[in-house]
Amino acid sequence: MAKQAFKAESKRLLDMMINSIYSNREIFLRELISNASDAIDKMYYKALTDESLTFNREDYYIKIDVDKESRTLKIMDTGIGMTEEELGNNLGVIAKSGSLAFKNENELKDGHDIIGQFGVGFYSAFMVADKVTVLTKAFGSGQAYKWESTGAEGYSIEPCEKENVGTEIILTIKENTDDESYDDYLEEYRLRSIIKKYSDFIRYPIKMEVTESRLKEGSENEFEEYKEEQTINSMVPIWRKNKSELTDEDYVNFYQEKHYGFDKPLKHIHIKVDGTVRYNAILFIPENIPFDYYSKEFEKGLELYSSGVLIMEKCADLLPDYFSFVKGMVDSEDLSLNISREILQQDRQLKFIAKNIQNKIKRELESFLKNDREKYELFYHSFGRQLKFGVYNNFGQDKDVLKDLLLFYSSKEEKLVTLDEYVSRMPEDQKYIYYATGETNERIARMPQTELVADKGYEILYFTEDVDEFAIKMLMSYKEKEFKSVASGDLGIDEESQEKKEAEEKENKDLLDYMKETLSGKVKDVKISTRLKNHPVCLTADGEVSIEMEKILRAMPNNQEVKAEKILEVNADHDVFRSLKAAFEQDKEKAALYTNLLYNQALLIEGLQIEDPIEFTNNICKVMV
């Protein structure tokens, strides 16, 4: 038969599809295997609807054959085959899907679905082949046909000899170029890896001759290679099995087989949904943090399958950023796929699945926290930072999802506690949830600013990570209790002390004004402290930016010149204050010396850099002589 032109779109469309739509050439094999699986599915459907037919699963398979000398790769199936008309309709029209039409025309039974969209998926073969030949014989037909094409110029269809029903696709693989090694698609190991990667869970056997090694007969140490036909795919995905059939070991093995991590997962989540949108999922919470987790190289996402065929290795849309540590896969029969299967449309079904997965992960983490605290704390050690970032990110839109999953070290319990645990044991007279920030728990425990709160017997949450205070500022309150830094201006404690402070500030107004003038440009104000008990001095902040925030923001790469409005607080009951007061009355120069020393002392306590270390050491020497 003479060559025919393609009926739809032309060379430009085929060239665009080959060179642009598919960015990963290896998926051509996934497409052709999926189509072969569809063809067998159609035979299965015929057997369901025609009582005269028997579907014997052993007779149905897909076979891969390689011939390096002729540079041909064959994909054969024992499926339903195609008539001459179907060849012209399905392979003569780019983007026409024979499987899709079959699906629309027939009501599928017994949970089987047609996964292929035969039209454009088939044409992915031209990404690796100069010539594509299709030999096919349709079920119930006595005549076989050959379809052949070398690309967008057109195709030919003619009768041929073929003994058995089914389809055989023969790819003449391209020669290597400077940019691409097409020889890879003639290598056994490469084909096996592609099949395992994308088509491992196709429900029919994918057979291929595999090279094995054995001891030569009569030899003790000489080996020989031989060929053996093997089934490459596992066929039955773990997620389609009943949970009752599976053990923890099965899930761990799956985690490691899929290379989700080198550790063992702390927890697995097996989801089966048969509602409006049907899907299965197996999710894992890792024990250890990936080495690149907090780097720009890390890619979040779940593997996404459509009826057992891998569509996307990292579907980021299935996970919110704050749950990006979750590994695993989702398989659905209801997702709308576009022409290439490689790019998933942002459709309603996907968003529905993503929302369900988010809720399921949250519930499982809450259960984990409640029922296995030790393991949850192990998880939190690795990924708690991400949860806190989730509270802060996007202007706090997800804070209500995450607030009950947060843990902070407690001054009273001396271990990690939830916000609910903190609030549940607050005394009646305690107005706020108090927190303190610092580099380590040990340093925070010694901070002068904690003295009054600790003396009142109130619990303090210790914030040691840079994201902690930002997250809490976004959260604002928990169960109607506001968060309050121990370094904030008004601690809401002890009105009597406040009255005493006001009286002392009035009495020492001239001294405080002198100190403020001496430290002009360094502090916003100098005040008598109500929070200090044993220490002579400390720094606090006035406004939204705390001293800890200043340190974090100024350490960022963009060098943000952000400053907290610092207040120097002095302890009027301390011997140092009495010495300062005496110096002010007798020797203003010495009072200025003491003021600078106290300010630098407060900077050191906060972990801030002293502006002039040499001046500081000289001032200490002056005091000593």
pLDDT (tens digit, 9 = 90+) per residue, 9-67?
Answer: 545 556 655 564 555 788 889 889 988 998 998 888 888 778 888 888 889 999 999 99
Largest pairwise CA distance in the chain: 119
Check residue 17 and give its pLDDT. Answer: 54
The residue ranges of DSSP E strands in 307-400, in sequence order, are 309-315, 327-332
Q: CA angle 420-424-425, nearest 5°?
A: 130
The secondary element (H helix, E strand) that includes residue 526 is strand 525-528
Q: Are 507 and 584 in contact (CB under 8 A)?
A: no
Tokens of 32: 């052709």
Distance of CA 253 to the CA centre of its chain: 21
Q: For the chain, list residues with pLDDT below 50.
A: 10, 20, 95-100, 102, 108-119, 337-343, 345-346
CA torsion 318→323→329→330, rounded to 10°?
-40
One-letter identity of residue 602: A
Q: Residue 539: CA atoms inside 13 Å, Cβ hemisphere, count?
A: 24
Alpha carbon of residue 34 to chain centroid: 28
Tokens 């096996």 correspond to what residue? 192
* Helices and strands (H, E) in the chain, number of each type: 20, 22
Bridge partners, residue 74, by sequence: 65, 170
Closest-CA residue to 194 (of 78, 344, 34, 323): 34
- Written as six digits, the tokens of 625 are 């002589």
Nearest CA to 197 out of 313, 366, 294, 282 is that of: 313
**Contact in structure between 295 and 318 (CB atoms under 8 Å):** no
Q: 287: helix, coil or strand? A: coil
Cα Rg of the chain, angstroms = 36
Residue 485's alpha-carbon distances to 151, 433, 449, 453, in angstroms, are 70, 8, 9, 10
From 164, 99, 119, select the one nearest 137 (Cα to Cα).
164
The C-alpha atoms of residue 75 and residue 64 are separated, in whole angstroms, by: 5
| pLDDT the model gives residue 117 | 36
Burial class (CB in 10 A: 0-12, 13-18, 19+), 248: exposed
Residues ≥6 apart with Cβ < 8 Å to 219:
none
Rounded Cα distance between 501 and 452, Å, is 14
For residue 624, give the DSSP letter. H
Residue whose C-alpha is closest to residue 321's, from 382, 267, 258, 402: 402
Q: DSSP assignment of 292-360, as one string?
A: TTTSTT----EEEEETTEEEEEEEGGGS-GGGTT-EEEEEES---B-TTSSSB---HHHHHHHHHHHHH
Cβ within 8 Å of residue 558, ≥6 positions away: none
Query: Are residues 569 and 527 in contact, defined by beta-carbon separation less than 8 angstroms?
Result: yes
Which secondary structure element, helix H or strand E, spans residue 192, and what is its range? helix 188-198
Q: Which position has the token pair 């199936």?
A: 77
Q: How far is CA 18 from CA 21, 311, 312, in A?
A: 7, 17, 18
pLDDT one-digit tens code per residue, 511-541:
999 999 999 989 999 999 888 888 999 999 8
pTM, whole model, 2 decimals?
A: 0.73
What strands, in cross-sheet order, belong to the sheet with 565-570?
A: 525-528, 565-570, 537-542
Quote the pLDDT of residue 360: 96
Distance, CA of 244 to CA of 278 (rounded, Å):
20
The token pair at 11 is 């060379």
**Which tokens hold the place of 366?**
């809450």
Distance (Å, whole) CA 278 – CA 275: 6
